[in-house]
Chain A
Amino acid sequence: MLIHASPHEVHEIDHVEDTIDFRGRDLLGMEDFTAAEIAAILDTVASFKEISERDIKKVPTLRGKTVINLFFEPSTRTRTSFEIAGKRLSADVINISVSNSSMSKGESLRDTADNLAAMRTDALIVRHKSAGVPHMLARYLPSPVINAGDGAHEHPTQALLDLYTIREKLGTLAGRRALIVGDIASSRVARSNIIAMRKMGMQVSVCAPLTMLPVGIEKWGVDYTSDFDAALQDVDVVMMLRIQRERHGDVLFPSLQEYSSRYCLTSARMRRAKSEVLVMHPGPMNRGVEIAPEVADGLESVILQQVTNGVALRMAVLYLIIGGV
Chain B
Amino acid sequence: MGDQVKARVMDAEAIDRALVRIAHEILERNKGAEELVLIGIRTRGLPLAQRLGEQLTRIETYPVPVGAVDITLYRDDLKQRRSRPVHPTDIPCRLDGKHVVLVDDVLYTGRSIRAAMDALVDFGRPRTIQLAVLIDRGHRELPIRADYIGKNLPTARSEQVSVRLDEVDGENTVIILGGMDADTC
Q: A: which residues have CB within 8 A of B?
A: 2-3, 5-17, 19-23, 43-44, 46-50, 54-56, 58-61, 89, 316, 319-320, 323-325
Contact = CB atoms under 8 A, between A and B. Distances in A.
A19 B74 contact: no
A176 B78 CA distance: 37
A116 B146 CA distance: 47
Contact of B88 (A3, A46, A89): A46
A59 B73 contact: yes
B83 A21 contact: yes
Interface string B95-134: 0000000000111110110000011001100000000000
Contacts of A49: 88
A13 B160 CA distance: 8
Contact of A43 (B70, B85, B106, B111): B85
Contact of A8 (B44, B87, B111, B158): B111
A167 to B, nearest CB: 16
Contacts of B12: none
Given A6-B185, A11-B44, A13-B160, A21 B82 contact: yes
Give the dominant DSSP class at B's interface.
Answer: loop
Contacts of A59: 73-74, 119
B28 interface: no
A289 to B, nearest CB: 39
Given A3-B80, A47-B70, A50-B89, A11 B122 contact: no
B86 A44 contact: yes
Nearest to B43: A12
Contact of A7 (B79, B123, B157): B157
Contact of B112 (A7, A11, A14, A16): A11
Given A11-B112, A59-B73, A60-B73, A323 B122 contact: no
A60 B85 CA distance: 17
A319 B85 CA distance: 11
B86, B87, B88, B89: most-surrounded residue (chain A CB, <10 A): B86
Contacts of B43: 11-12, 15
Contacts of A320: 83
A60 B118 contact: yes
A105 B81 CA distance: 45
Given A44-B86, A47-B73, 9 more contacts: A6-B157, A10-B160, A11-B105, A12-B44, A13-B162, A13-B177, A14-B1, A59-B119, A323-B78
A2 B107 CA distance: 24
B77 interface: yes
B13 interface: no
Max count, chain A CB within 10 A of own CB: residue among B79, B119, B157: B79
B139 to A, nearest CB: 9
B7 interface: no
B83 A19 contact: yes
B83 A47 contact: no
A61 to B, nearest CB: 4
B181 interface: no
A71 B166 CA distance: 51
Contact of A3 (B74, B79, B84): B79
A12 B83 CA distance: 13
Contacts of B119: 59
A36 to B, nearest CB: 14
A122 to B, nearest CB: 13
18 contacts: A6-B109, A6-B141, A6-B157, A9-B109, A11-B43, A12-B43, A12-B44, A16-B82, A19-B82, A22-B83, A47-B73, A47-B89, A50-B88, A56-B122, A61-B74, A316-B86, A319-B73, A324-B79
